[in-house]
Structure 1
Amino acid sequence: MSLFALRLEATGAPYMITGATAAILYGQPRVTNDLDVVLALDDTSRGALLRVFPETEFYVPPESVIRAEQARHQRGHFNLIHHETGYKADLYLAGADPLHAWALPRRRRLRWSDELEVVVAPPEYVVLRKLEFYREGGSAKHPLDIRSIQETTGVDEAAMAPWLQRMNLGELWREIKAL
């Protein structure tokens, strides 16, 4: 975790950890093999990113690839891989995604270990994305993560309500809550 989180902090770009790692922090521990991060990357922070993730230590896509992903309106994405350990971070660019725009100002700083605090997406965002991925044919881990987050941390259902409607996830949310 620290391989990526400390360097992301150093870029100055707004970011938030999401996916399985966020589900672990808000719910029950389980194993995951990568780190999912939403990153608001501009030209300045792109340069900082390339500096703090040196190619001698990490696989980093060529800058032209990162620029091309930045130019995408939504769903821009690239990976960083630590050579020595093989640990991978999947970076999802915030772009113009309205859910990212809603969640980034609501991100939270949580303690990962005695030595490390990380910035994490709000639990409502994590639940909404997991609902979305599950609907799209995702893993059976998603409902388990959702229930774990709901039971351990809780979610602000009033804050989620407009997104559940907008993303057409209300029925699926009710089904998973009833499990």
Structure 2
Amino acid sequence: MDTAIDLQVYTVRQIEDLELPYAIGGSMAASAYGTPRFTRDVDIVVDLPLEKVSAFMARFPHADFYIDEVAIRQAVRERSQFNIIHHESGVKVDIYIPAEAIQQNQIKRARRLVSESGEANYSPPEELIIMKLDYYQYGQPQRHLEDIVSLLYGLRGNVDFEMIEREVAARGLQEPWSAAKLRWKEVVDAKLAAAERERPAG
């Protein structure tokens, strides 16, 4: 288990075996819709109930993984997050217990996609964009901006802009959203200009 993809595949297999509702988010989801890029972290929203915590933990043996039962139970009760780290590779998966509506919708509206990591449930692009805009304010803004642009470009702009605009207004995210749209336009214009230059004359 050397890469984030390996850890994602393993973790999804355990989640699906336990029949837990889930959706992959973060950069792995952005890559599935847009342009793949390197990441060492996996983000998954999982509706994990307290009664399945022990069964979930049993899927990640301590010999191979850092996993903390106290932290998991606290995250489930508080609707927050916990992480699992693969000892040998240092790759990490962040598990988010759905709290607010947008996280719940990531699961409810999840899309079943086939990517280089196999078939799995992914957060819908609209919720993914909104979450990325939220994270933009708290660190690594360029990474989140690139993920949003990759999403928009990969999907050829086929997202529910009305829904995104509504959430952006409600959350006060107009500044990063404007920056993302501007950067997306620049990327599209650059691609069109490159294609025009490569077109045979005559």
Q: Shorter-chain TM-score: which interval?
A: 0.7 to 0.9
For the 8 Å contact 2:34–2:153, the answer to whether it is kept is: yes
**Residue in structure 1 matched with residue 60 of structure 2 by the alignment:** 53
Q: Which amino acid aligns with 1:164?
A: V
* Gapped regions of structure 1 (runs ≥ 5): none
**Residue in structure 2 matched with residue 66 of structure 1 by the alignment:** 72
Report how far residue 156 of structure 1 moved: 1.3
1:105 paired with 2:108, answer yes
* 1: CA distance, partners of 2:10 / 2:90: 11
Listed one character per residue, the Cα deviations across residues 137-163 of structure 1 (whole Å, up to 9, x for unaligned) are 433111111111011113211232332
Mean Cα displacement is larger for which, 120-129 or 168-177?
168-177
* Gapped regions of structure 2 (runs ≥ 5): 1-7, 184-202
For the 8 Å contact 1:5–1:118, the answer to whether it is kept is: yes
- TM-score, normalised relative to structure 2: 0.78
Q: Which amino acid aligns with 1:13?
A: L
More helix by share: 2
**Residue in structure 1 matched with residue 192 of structure 2 by the alignment:** none
1:174 paired with 2:181, answer no
**Residue in structure 1 matched with residue 188 of structure 2 by the alignment:** none
- Report the RMSD for the aligned CA atoms in angstroms: 1.8
**Residue in structure 2 matched with residue 83 of structure 1 by the alignment:** 87
* 1: CA distance, partners of 2:104 / 2:169: 17
Aligned pairs, number = 174
Report how far residue 112 of structure 1 moved: 2.3
Listed one character per residue, the Cα deviations across residues 73-132 of structure 1 (whole Å, up to 9, x for unaligned) are x4x1111112333221111111x312112221101111123x721211111111111111
- TM-score, normalised relative to structure 1: 0.88
